[in-house]
Amino acid sequence: MDALSARQSGTVAALSPAGQVIDILEPALQKTPIVLASPHSGSFYPDSFLAQSRLDRLSLRRSEDCHVDALAEPAARLLGAPLLKALFPRAYVDVNREPWELDPGMFTGDLPGFVNARSPRVINGLGTVAKVVAQGQEIYRHKLDFAEVERRIEEHYRPYHDALDRLIERTQERFGLCVLLDCHSMPSESQTTQRARGGRHASDIVFGDFFGASCDPALVGAAEAAARTRGFEVARNSPYAGGFITRHYGRPEAGIHVLQIEIGRWLYMDEATLERREEDFGKLAGDLYHIAAAIDVQARKTLGRRPPPAA
């Protein structure tokens, strides 16, 4: 089923043999060149995966960008932007990686030659199919068959990227450019440097443009200014410059801009229980809308600077 050919109102889903794997919240009429995405907030854990894991569900969930899809939803609704959400967890298959970043030590038998077994993500245990979750805990009881990974790629990874490709293409066709806001969250332990003032985290929000390669600097500047106006400590590209999605899709020279947004989990949730703090959550969702709205305003100025398409 083509997830984007369905009725463009409410939530539409792409289906695989394993069930529903993505949701796309679409407005009746898209009003902005912005597309929002939450690739790591999925919390549906297949029973077969849980049986393979040596960890309990709560331990596995510490790798999730918990509740980020819900944080982004008000911005999507108020701006008239689509929001793409993965429903499966990144511990199962990570769509913010190349499709074949795999650790050979996790598998029975040899892997095909096209597998990238030497990327920094694989070395750190965080390939397309991760070896570890937060705090370096190993996931699996036993080694996996490569056929298992092929199924995850075909039934989960590819539907997500097919949908993202189409959203970007349709947005660019309509507006002349597309700005993908790739939304994530970061745990407290990611902030290794803390400010001496009150022990605050070094940054509340980190914007990643892959060191200027994935997004017009004016858009990044608008995001940073809006975040600071809302009272946040902001950083750019440190410690997160952007993952595969940022690098792969961001082509500012072609009118496709990708900005990764990492939001501190301590701002809206209890990191031990993974429960939302509702008052803080609601405020942060409003703040994220204002940041996205500032990017929208700047994007329209960026559009105005671009030459018209050739006849």
| Angle at 239 (CA atoms; ends 234, 245), nearest 5 degrees | 100
Tokens of 270: 């209890």
Distance between alpha carbon 61 and the CA centroid of its chain, in Å? 16
Q: How far apart are CA 257 and CA 262, in angstroms?
A: 16
Rounded Cα distance, 103 and 207, in Å: 29
Domains of the chain listed by start with CATH number: 10-305 (3.40.630.40)
Phi, psi at 236, each rounded to 5°: -125, 120
Sign of the C-alpha dihedral computed for residues 105, 161, 26 and 73 taken in this order? positive
Q: Cβ distance 50 to 57 under 8 Å?
A: yes
| Cα radius of gyration (the chain) | 19
Q: What is the pLDDT along the chain (311 residues), one digit of tens a residue?
A: 333 332 233 333 333 334 689 999 999 999 999 999 999 999 999 999 999 999 999 999 999 999 999 999 999 999 999 999 999 999 999 999 999 999 999 999 999 999 999 999 999 999 999 999 988 999 999 999 999 999 999 999 999 999 999 999 999 999 999 999 999 999 998 764 444 434 456 899 999 999 999 999 999 999 999 999 999 999 999 999 999 999 999 999 999 999 999 999 999 999 999 999 999 999 999 999 999 999 999 999 877 655 444 43
Question: Which tokens belong to 266?
Answer: 């301590």
Residues with Cβ < 8 Å from 143, sequence gap 6 or more? 106, 107, 108
